Amino acid sequence: MALANLPVRHPDRSLLLARDGYLFTAALDENERRSLSERGAVETSLLGRSTLIVGGDEGVELFYDESKVERHQAVPPPIALSLFGPGAVHALDDDAHRHRKALFLHALSETELARLLKIAERRWRTELDSWHAAGSGEMYSSAIDVFGTSIIEWAGIREPASEMREHARWMAEIVDGFGVVGPAFVRAVLARRRCDRWAARLIRRARDTGTDDPTSWVNQVAGFVDSDGELLPERTAAVELLNILRPTVAVAWLASFAAVALVEQPEWRDRIREDTAAGSTRVAQAFAHEVRRYYPFVPVLAARARRDLEFAGHTLRRGHRVLLDVYGTNHGPAWDQPWSFDPGRFLGTDPCSITHFVPQGGGPVETGHRCPGEGVSNGLLALTVGLLAEIDGLDLPHQDRHFSMRRMPTRPVSGTRLSVGSR
């Protein structure tokens, strides 16, 4: 029986998700919360469709078991098309997904990450010089410019600095509006169209005349042969080009929180400074991992049952929607003191070995749907807090540091303004 014809037997929680955002599972009724906490799953309805919400280790394991779930048509089209784009790797499964993902894994190798971080450090130091000259700066807007122009340069895209910043801000608008209803979503859709046209021009030019660097990311995407033995269609190649550029800009949201945490945790700022001075990034990396766990970023992820199956006492038919509660899992009972900010939990530990650590998805990076850009996110955050920790007199002047747990994605309203001493 097709899922669309199945009767809905549970109250629809769509308004709850829209109203409570990241905390929507905490707003479920007592029995539903108990089921999710104790059994790792609760059956409900979203947008008129039966939906199994999962969390915890067991829920994560189900969500990333490719023999049981798939991604095709799992994300509602308005979100999928505005954020990822049509034909993106995120909606592929099995061999087609693994083949396409190999392109991203190559681009985001340790060697390429080191090259990106070197570019970003140069750009951050220039930006922080301007902060020192002015006595202050705003983390959110500066991070958009630094991360965006860095990844554009890294990709081998040669354009004036003003255009780099403009394109970085277009990509930020895509991220800012994908999960809300209203003007921000309209801006996201318009920015998506502008970015699609820009990326398509880059792909077209690379295929027609090449770029200055034949090994550049633009050329690699333009020349990538998909699992069907053909070059990606121009539009799909443009989408995948943006799917490496855009997530890097999205790290600006996390950087806004990281700056707050760094000032509020002076003991960790000192530890980062000492460790960085010794030539290590170990403490900064742990701090960045805890920022990604503790603060809201990805609210939920969606999949569909690949076949009829049983899980935690629930019967799922083929096509049944499965929703991973990302924020709830990152603050679930599997963590020691989950509501305390403690980077020490990641010192000496491989975060990818922690099943319930899913700030940007879970499962294996190489073969599953865990975000291949996770290393980029953490590397850029670690670099950022390491540079901020060097600054004497770093402080948070009076500002609106509130962030809404209803808005997805969220960040401090002020963008996190920081005061710095002059050199």
The per-residue pLDDT for 77 is 63
Q: Which residues 6+ apart lie within 8 Å of 57 measured at CB? A: 40, 334, 355, 356
Residue 228 has pLDDT above 70, yes or no: yes
pTM check: above 0.85 = yes
CB 170 within 8 A of CB 193: no
- The model's pLDDT over 270-301, given as tens digits with 9 standing for 90+, comes to 999 999 999 999 999 999 999 999 999 988 88
* Mean pLDDT of all residues in 334-356: 93
Residue 137 has pLDDT above 70, yes or no: yes
The per-residue pLDDT for 383 is 98
Residue 104 has pLDDT above 50, yes or no: yes
Would you list the DSSP string of 122-163? HHHHHHHHHHHHHTEEEHHHHHHHHHHHHHHHHTT----HHH
Residue 107 has pLDDT above 80, yes or no: no
Flag the least confident range among 116-130, 147-161, 176-190.
Answer: 176-190
Residue 49 has pLDDT above 80, yes or no: yes
CA-atom Rg of the chain in angstroms: 21
- For residue 309, list its beta bridge partners: 316
CB 132 within 8 A of CB 423: yes
The per-residue pLDDT for 6 is 43
Summary mean pLDDT of the chain: 88
CATH superfamily of 3-419: Cytochrome P450 (1.10.630.10)
The per-residue pLDDT for 94 is 73
Neighbours of 200 (CB within 10 A): 17
The per-residue pLDDT for 2 is 39
Select the highest-mean-pLDDT range: 102-106, 288-292, 389-393: 288-292
Nearest to 93 by CA among 310, 367, 301, 371: 367
User: Beta strand 49-54 with 321-325: parallel, antiparallel or unpaired?
Assistant: parallel
Higher confidence at residue 77 or residue 273? 273
- The model's pLDDT over 148-170, given as tens digits with 9 standing for 90+, comes to 999 999 999 999 999 999 999 99
CA distances from 207 to 40, 99, 218, 401 (A): 48, 21, 10, 46
CB 128 within 8 A of CB 404: no
Residue 80 has pLDDT above 80, yes or no: no
Number of H helices, E strands in the chain: 15, 9
Higher confidence at residue 229 or residue 72? 229
Structure token digits, residue 105: 């894994």
* Mean pLDDT of all residues in 141-147: 98
Higher confidence at residue 373 or residue 61? 61
Nearest to 251 by CA among 297, 307, 215: 297
Higher confidence at residue 31 or residue 291? 291
CB 53 within 8 A of CB 44: yes
Flag the least confident range among 30-34, 290-294, 314-318, 362-366.
Answer: 362-366
Nearest to 256 by CA among 413, 150, 392: 413
The per-residue pLDDT for 88 is 65
* Mean pLDDT of all residues in 50-79: 85
- For residue 419, list its beta bridge partners: 136, 395
